[in-house]
Amino acid sequence: MDFIISAVVLFILIFIFIRRLWISSSSSSSPVRSRLLGTMGWPFIGETLDFISCGYTDHPQSFMDKRRLLIIPVQDRYGICLRYGKVFKSHLFGSPTIVSTDAEVSRIVLQSDANSFVPSYPKSLTELMGGSSILRINGNLHRRIHGLIGGFFKSPYLKAQVTSEMRKLILQSMDTWKEDRPIYIQDESKHIAFQVLAKTLMGLDPGEEMEYLRIQFQKFIAGLMSLPLKLPGTQLHRSLQAKKKMVKLVLKIIRDKRMNVSPDSKDVADVLLNDKSEKLTDELISDNMIDLMIPGEDSVPLLITLAIKYLSDCPKALHQLKEENLELKTRKEDLGESLCWDDYLSMPFTQSVITETLRMGNIIMGVIRKAMKDVEIKGYLIPKGWCVLTHFRSVHLDENHHQSPHLFNPWRWQDRDMSSGSSSCFTPFGGGLRLCPGLDLARLEASIFLHHFVTNFRWVAEEDTIINFPTVRMKKKMPIWVKREMN
């Protein structure tokens, strides 16, 4: 018994010594640490567990709010604590990290080039993406690929193709909906969006290959936020095996395209294959087709699902949205015309609903960049090797930027420029050189879905809650009960 007590006491003393050594080293070895308030948390794990646990609550930004609001001692239920201001230091996901909830600081970080900041991701994600992913590469190659894809995504040809494909798939799906059973919007929108994505990226049509790709992709993304262990039986190992199967299929598609390459680019793979750069090998293109599916697979379905969630809770907004879409539908029918892509994007209140959904939903919580050298921004010195978490959610829900920020209020965007890159206070798609090239397509796909949904159905939504970690999603997949409109 004495031995056990002595061992426990020794363990506690060693733990206290390590913790003090950790805090001491993290607060004195760099100039920033004397100028930025914050805590490095526990040894090795830092404040990661606290950050993650807040992500599973109804107030995921509470981790930030507890730390950022005031640089004065404040009283809470645990006693006296410090709040550190809008930019503070922490230790998250294995790295010393500067957390920015300041719109201007985040804007400068996002607009910086690879000489100052490069993307940083959790280790499991980097293992799955590989070194040649557009999400990780920098410099001329990144600018080349990003420019090619961005230009194609903005083309009227692609927007017309996406409009036709999206409308066809939506109507096919809605034809199967029954009034005596719940419709799970999250699943329905994911199924539709994946097919549009596969067609846009590599020209893949529904069939056995697409279904195989979809199954393997679900296994692949299950490991994006897993423990970084590649041992057989672990989630990361299963995800890596799924990616190998995906690469084999996509590489076959790319090589078939290479043999029959057409000067008229019909999908992203065609665009990259038509480029003359020797760096754009078949292997690099196939890898990036898969990596481009990561942000594309979730963003559109979640935008659609959250919009329906917020509209279900706001009858006034739903009524105005429905009136606007019915007016356009009637006008086009009177003219004997089908809606084209710019018709869907022409409805101002529909776009305000989408913008407000992006602000409140925060499908992308934020991004992480790693400092390649000491960088000073607004008097804050960010040391080389440290990460910076630019936290979009804190800015989007900051009452200094958006009045009553937790209230769904599409009318706040009327008569305002809704371009995602136009304001440092609204960055749902990131910013700078890595601004998401698919932002216009995301708006278009959401607009098409909402138009056909609200003009064809009335619905009652079941109670559901939003989960914010590791990705945003609805706990029950947003079940609704529909009634067809008698048009």
| 81 marked ligand binding residue | no
| Percentage helix, strand, coil for the chain under 3-state DSSP, each rounded to 5 | 55, 15, 35
CA–CA dist 353, 211 (Å, integer): 32
Please name which of 260, 35, 284, 326 lies closest in space to residue 272, comparing C-alpha atoms.
284
Using DSSP bridges, classify how beta strands 387-391 and 95-100 pair: parallel, antiparallel or unpaired: parallel
CA–CA dist 373, 388 (Å, integer): 12
CA–CA dist 188, 214 (Å, integer): 14
Which residues, in sequence order, are CB contacts of 387 under 8 Å at separation 6+? 92, 95, 96, 97, 98, 120, 368, 369, 370, 371
Long-range contacts, stretch 407-413, CB < 8 angstroms, 24+ apart = 408/310, 408/313, 408/314, 408/317, 408/356, 408/360, 409/356, 410/317, 410/349, 410/352, 410/353, 410/355, 410/356, 411/352, 412/352, 412/356, 413/351, 413/352, 413/355, 413/356
User: Nearest-5° angle of CA 416, CA 332, CA 166?
Assistant: 75
Annotated binding-site residue numbers for heme: 436
